[in-house]
């Protein structure tokens, strides 16, 4: 008899095989899998019997990486309901829009954000129950707030079994909404299950692995690691703030073996003071995605820290992984520089993800020559069901039977795809296409440069010209003229930034992506034309 493909199967199996194994470390709290799943069952019982949650209802969370946030990804789906994990760094207005649009009946909020949610209650008539994660001891909760821990403590686990189809939704994940209102990506149980299986196939994780949560759980369900770690019986080590000092402390104290990090986080880690990095474990596997990592960043992390970078690529709409830069035996003879350059590519399809094609404007696959650009499109097992309550956007994104990513890429003769830019970020200067990613990759090789973003700005002569926003390493100095000469040694002259802006930091999303639309609104800088 067939059973649905769902991450809840990971819960069932791990509960049987790894009940006594350490499941969660959250500051001073440590839970075995038996304890974790007992708590999940209690919370499921509260949702069903006290709140009346039924199949298809939505339960929203606003919280950093805590054990309670992790528990939601099991307790809610096993009732047949849908998790709506919300970016806790958004504004109160964003919270109101997402909660209203998703139709959430229950919202669970970390104590740091209770006041923000209180300020929008009158806009949320559909929300019936407000639950506080980690209520501050000794502090009385405001009207209508229920204490999560108290509810769990006073409830006997008695979960009513619900029939779940693998095509049912497990989460609705809202996109960042940088150019419009956020869209709700509908991820099914099958999507999530197969993404986790694909990760396990390509990353080879074991029950002895210990995973550090440097990635927000709300972001594409923590790249599905909220379920993947449990699937192999590993340990979830919660991290509430992504700070270099805490990361290195946990790496050493908790014997971390694997984590995920956007390239900006890798840069922060590799730029940490020597006193923090001393004694850090070697051999840590780090999955990086979210933006194209520069070869220079990969080479530095692998060379200086002795870690293994695994480059994956995907989007929230693809659950999220589509590709992995798979290293072959024949790559072993490459120099560190050559391997880093190869690892900077997005790579090839995961075994479970489906078909990826890079196509031109007519929908024809581009030649595998490493130079002809096209858009990444994909169809298969990880593609979302659509955008929640937005049929027009769904039809546009899924036209022709493929999901259209908006990412411009080339395909090399070996079949490895490499992103050159977001389509909207390609700079067209004097009729020539300039990849901001390519220019950024060169600048990151300069010893004085810690971070950089290149964007197109209006130009009276060329129509558009590249502008660079540069963050220097601590104590480093460099002139625009020196950077311009450095770039021109390695790239065609028309690709060199014409205006240079030295900044202390770059605007980023909660997941570490640089917000280039913010930079396009800035015009100051030093011209080297």
Q: Mean pLDDT throughout 385-397?
A: 97
Cα gap 431→379, rounded to integer Å: 32
Q: How many CB atoms lie within 10 A of CB 410?
A: 21
pLDDT 10s digits, 350-367: 999 999 999 999 999 999
What's the pLDDT at 515? 87
**What's the pTM value of the predicted model, to 2 decimals?**
0.89
Quote the CA–CA distance of 258 and 246 in Å, as a whole number: 15
DSSP string spanning 389-435? Answer: T-HHHHHHHTGGGSEEEEEEEEE-TTS-EEEEEEGGG-EEETTEEE-
pLDDT in tens, 274-305: 999 999 999 999 999 988 889 999 999 999 99
Angstrom distance (rounded) from CA 149 to CA 477: 52
Q: Work out the number of other CB atoms within 10 angstroms of the CB of residue 401.
A: 8
Question: CA 152 to CA 147: how far, in whole Å?
Answer: 9
Question: Which tokens in the block code for residue 298?
Answer: 């990969």
pLDDT of residue 428: 79
Q: Which element (helix H / strand E) includes 48? A: none
Could you read off the pLDDT of 166-176 as tens digits, one per residue?
999 999 999 97
Fold of domain 34-179 = Rossmann fold (3.40.50)
Give me the residues paired with residue 58 across strands. 82
Domain boundaries, given as residue ranges, for the chain: 34-179, 242-423, 426-527
Percent of the chain exceeding pLDDT 70 equals 97
Gap between the Cα atoms of 466 and 499, Å rounded: 7
pLDDT above 90 (res 528)? no
Contact 214, 247 (CB under 8 A): yes
pLDDT at 179 over 60: no
> Strand order of the sheet with strand 463-472?
449-459, 463-472, 499-502, 526-527
Q: Do 420 and 438 meet the contact criterion of CB atoms below 8 Å apart?
A: yes
Positions of E strands within 1-88: 22-26, 29-32, 58-62, 82-86
Q: Classify domain 426-527 at the CATH topology level.
A: GMP Synthetase; Chain A, domain 3 (3.30.300)
pLDDT averaged over every residue in the chain = 94
| Among 148, 149, 153, 104, residue whose Cα is nearest residue 125 | 104
Q: For residue 347, give the nearest of 304, 376, 317 by alpha carbon.
A: 376
Question: Which residues, listed in sequence order, are joined to residue 432 by a DSSP beta bridge?
Answer: 429
Instruction: State both tokens at 116.
Output: 């923000």
Query: What does the pLDDT average to over 114-138?
Result: 94
Cα–Cα distance measured from residue 317 to residue 467, given in angstroms and rounded to the nearest whole number:
30
| The pLDDT of residue 461 is above 80 | no
CA distances from 116 to 61, 112, 126, 216 (A): 13, 9, 17, 20
How large a percentage of the chain has pLDDT more than 90? 82
Rg of the chain (C-alpha set): 23
What is the band of 459 on the pLDDT scale with cuts at 50, 70, 90? confident
* More confident of the two residues 459 and 94: 94
Residue 474 pLDDT more than 70?
yes
Q: Are 265 and 272 in contact (CB under 8 A)?
A: no
CA neighbours within 13 Å on the CB side: how many for 378?
Answer: 28
Q: Is the pLDDT of residue 527 over 90?
A: no
Residue 178 in this model has a pLDDT that exceeds 70: no
SS (HEC) of 287-349: EECCCCCCHHHHHHHHHHHCCEEEEEEECHHHCCEEEECCCCHHHHHCCHHHHHHHHCCCEEE
Position of tokens 């402390």? 249
The CATH number that domain 242-423 falls under is 3.40.50.12780
CB 474 within 8 A of CB 499: no
Question: Could you report the per-residue pLDDT of 194-231, keeping only the tens digit for each?
Answer: 999 999 999 999 999 999 999 999 999 999 999 999 99
Q: How far out from the chain centre does Cα 498 lie?
A: 32
Lowest pLDDT segment from 68-82, 144-158, 495-509: 495-509
- pLDDT at 153 exceeding the cut of 60: yes
Within this chain, domains 34-179 and 242-423 share the same CATH topology: yes
């Amino acid at each position: 008899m067939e059973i649905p493909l769902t991450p809840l199967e990971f819960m069932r199996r791990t509960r049987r095989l790894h009940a006594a194994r350490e499941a969660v470390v959250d500051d001073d709290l440590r839970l075995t899998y038996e304890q974790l799943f007992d708590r999940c069952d209690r919370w499921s019982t509260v949702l069903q019997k006290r709140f009346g949650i039924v199949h298809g209802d939505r339960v929203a969370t606003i919280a950093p990486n805590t054990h309670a946030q992790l528990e939601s990804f099991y307790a809610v789906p096993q009732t047949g309901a849908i998790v709506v994990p919300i970016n806790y760094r958004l504004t109160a207005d964003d919270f109101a829009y997402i909660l209203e649009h998703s139709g959430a009946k229950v919202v669970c909020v970390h104590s740091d954000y209770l006041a923000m949610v209180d300020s929008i209650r009158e806009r949320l008539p559909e929300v019936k129950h407000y639950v506080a994660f980690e209520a501050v001891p000794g502090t009385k909760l405001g009207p209508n707030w229920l204490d999560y821990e108290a509810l769990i403590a006073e409830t006997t686990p008695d979960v009513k079994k619900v029939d779940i189809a693998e095509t049912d939704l497990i989460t609705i994940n809202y996109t960042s909404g940088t150019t419009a209102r956020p869209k709700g990506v509908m991820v099914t149980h099958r999507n999530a299950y197969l993404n986790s299986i694909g990760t396990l196939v390509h990353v080879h994780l074991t029950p002895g692995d210990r995973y550090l949560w440097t990635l927000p759980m709300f972001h594409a369900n923590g790249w599905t690691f909220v379920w993947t770690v449990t699937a192999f019986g590993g340990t979830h080590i919660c991290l509430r703030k992504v700070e270099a000092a805490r990361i290195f402390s946990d790496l050493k104290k908790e014997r971390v073996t694997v984590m995920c990090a956007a390239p900006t986080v890798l840069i922060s880690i590799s730029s940490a003071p020597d006193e923090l990095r001393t004694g850090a474990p070697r051999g840590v596997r780090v999955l990086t995605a979210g933006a194209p990592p520069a070869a220079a960043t990969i080479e530095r992390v692998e060379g200086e820290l002795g870690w293994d970078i695994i480059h994956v690529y995907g989007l929230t709409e693809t659950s999220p992984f589509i590709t992995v830069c798979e290293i072959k035996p024949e790559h072993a003879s490459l120099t560190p520089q050559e391997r880093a350059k190869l690892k900077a590519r997005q790579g090839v399809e995961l075994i479970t993800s489906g078909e990826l094609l890079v196509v031109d404007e007519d929908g024809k696959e581009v030649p595998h020559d490493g130079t002809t650009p096209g858009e990444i499109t994909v169809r298969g097992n990880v593609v979302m069901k659509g955008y929640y309550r937005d049929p027009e956007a769904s039809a546009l994104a899924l036209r022709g039977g493929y999901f259209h990513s908006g990412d411009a890429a080339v395909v090399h003769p070996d079949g490895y795809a490499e992103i050159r830019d977001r389509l909207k970020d390609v700079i067209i200067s004097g009729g020539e296409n300039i990849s901001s990613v390519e220019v950024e990759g060169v600048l990151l090789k300069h010893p004085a440069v810690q971070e950089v973003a290149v964007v197109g700005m209006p130009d009276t002569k060329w129509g558009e010209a590249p502008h660079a926003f540069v963050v220097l390493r601590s104590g480093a100095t460099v002139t625009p003229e020196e950077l311009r000469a450095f770039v021109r040694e390695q790239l065609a002259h028309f690709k060199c930034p014409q205006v240079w802006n030295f900044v202390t930091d770059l605007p980023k999303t909660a997941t570490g992506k640089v917000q280039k639309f913010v930079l396009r609104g800035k015009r100051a800088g030093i011209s080297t034309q």
